Amino acid sequence: MGKPLLKALAGPTRRRILDELAERNGQSLFEICGRLTTRHGLGLSRQAISRHLAVLQAAGLARTRREGRCKFHDLDTEPLGHTVNRWLTPDGQEKTP
């Protein structure tokens, strides 16, 4: 597991963002901010959430796609899958699907 992945998972706000994306992919920054405020009581600015999303993207846990003028954020569990797979194999080598 690399440093960017550990850094991304270390932050409780980033874990909440991942939870929200796991529940519903394709959210805009505005939607993520609203869900974090109403469901978790986090009153962070859009700029702060955007910085958290950048950390998640650097770790490969989130992807951003643009449709017209809007940006949508999606969860990508592949980095976690590689790590879990490595932990669960007896020799520590990753299995290829």
| Total H helices, total E strands in the chain | 5, 2
Overall number of domains in the chain:
1
Give residue-wise pLDDT tens across range 21-70.
Answer: 999 999 999 999 999 999 999 989 999 999 999 999 999 999 999 999 99
Domain residues for the domain of 54 are 3-88
How many other CB atoms are found less than 10 A from the CB of residue 70?
A: 10
Give residue-wise pLDDT tens across range 14-29.
Answer: 999 999 999 999 999 9
94 found inside a domain? no
96 found inside a domain? no
What's the whole-model pTM score?
0.82
CATH number at residue 31: 1.10.10.10
97 found inside a domain? no
| Radius of gyration, CA atoms only, the chain | 15
**CB burial of residue 85 (10 Å; 0-12, 13-18, 19+):** middle
